[in-house]
Amino acid sequence: MILHCDAQLVVADKPAGLPTVPGRPEELHDCLWHRVRAQVADALVVHRLDMATSGLVLFARGIDVQRALGRAFAQRRVEKTYEAVVAGELPGDCGEIDLPLIADWPNRPRQKVDPQRGKPSVTRWRVMQRETPLGTTRLELQPLTGRSHQLRVHLAAFGHPILGDRLYAPPSAADGACRLMLHGRALAFAHPAGGVPVRFQSPTPF
C-alpha cells in the first residue's frame, strides 16, 4: 500500500472501496489514512480520492510539509494523471471538457454543472484505446482543476460516463463494471525538500 516514504512525504496506493479519510458511519472508520499512520505515525492528509476511485494518494510528514504540498495542489503545480474506461466512443483523439461545477446540495454528495454559479473546471482527455466490440473507450485524463467528482461529472455531462459509476452514469453504464473504472495513475510535483521534480506511478488495475 505504501509505495514511497521519505522524511517529508508518503505516497500510498489506495484500493477502490476504501475511504481516504474516516467517514461518520462506523463501517467507514477504516481508511487509507489510518492504515498509513499505523506505519508512519506523523502522516497528514494532503488530498483525497473518492472512495470508489483507486490510485495514488500523497501524505505529508509534518504540518509545514502539509501546508507546502497543499499550496502546490491549490496552485496547480501537481500534475495528476488518471485512467478510466467510459461508455461509447469519443469523437477525436484528444480534447478538453470545460464545464463549471457546483455542489448539488439537495442531492449531496452529488455535484452538477452550473454555468452561472459553478466554479471553473477543466479536464483534458486523450484516447488510449477504443474497444469497439464493447462500445467503450479507455482514456487518459488530466484534471487541470481539482473539483469534487470532477472527472465523473465531466465525463457524464460529455455523454461518456465512466463505467461502474453509481452516482452519475445511467444503469447501462453503472452496471457495466464491478467497480468504478477510474484510477489515479500518476502524480508529479516538485519535492518539498529541494524542489527536485519527482513522479510516482501506479499500474492501472483494470
Pick the closest to residue 158 from 118, 203, 123 (CA basis).
123
Respond yes or no: is residue 30 known to be catalytic: no
Distance linking the first and last C-alpha atoms of the chain: 17
Instruction: Provide the β-strand partners of residue 130.
Output: 137
Provide the 3-class DSSP secondary structure of residue 194.
coil
Pick the closest to residue 128 from 185, 166, 199, 54 (CA basis).
185
Beta carbons of 164 and 152 less than 8 angstroms apart: no
Which residue is catalytic, options 42, 50, 64, 114? Answer: 50
Pick the closest to residue 160 from 133, 127, 115, 192 (CA basis).
127
The residues that are catalytic are 50
